[in-house]
Amino acid sequence: MFGATRAQIYTRIYLPAMLPLILTGLRLGMILCIIGVLLAEMYASRRGIGRLIFTWGEGYQVPELLAGIVLVSVLTITVNEAMRLAELHVSRFYARASTA
C-alpha cells in the first residue's frame, strides 16, 4: 500500500469505504431501537411516552393518544431523515473520491 502504516490503511481506505454501510446499519438499528423502547415502556414501565400511549389507549383518550403517536412518529421520522441525509452525504463523498 505504498508504505502506509496499518493505521493509515484503516483510516484512509477501509473506514471511508465502510462508512455508508455503517450509517445504514445505524439508521435501521435506530428505528428498531425506538420501537423496542416503546414496546418495553408500554408493558414493563411505570413512566415514559410508551406507557402514556398505552394508558391513553386503554382509557379511550383519543386526542392524547393521537398526539403521543404523532409526537413519536415526527421525532422518529426526523431522526431517520437526518441519518439518511448523513448517509447520502457520505455516499456522495465516497463516490466522488473513488472516481477521482
Per-residue pLDDT of 30-61, as tens digits, reads 989 998 998 898 888 888 888 999 999 999 99
- 69: pLDDT confidence band, cut at 50, 70 and 90? very high
On the question of pLDDT at 1 being above 60, the answer is: no
7-24 tens-digit pLDDT: 988 888 888 888 888 988
Give the other-Cβ count within 10 Å of 87's Cβ. 19
- 73: pLDDT confidence band, cut at 50, 70 and 90? very high
Give the other-Cβ count within 10 Å of 26's Cβ. 13
The pLDDT score that the predictor gives to residue 19 is 86
The pLDDT score that the predictor gives to residue 90 is 82
Closest CA to 98 of 19, 17, 20, 21: 17
Average pLDDT over residues 82-98: 78
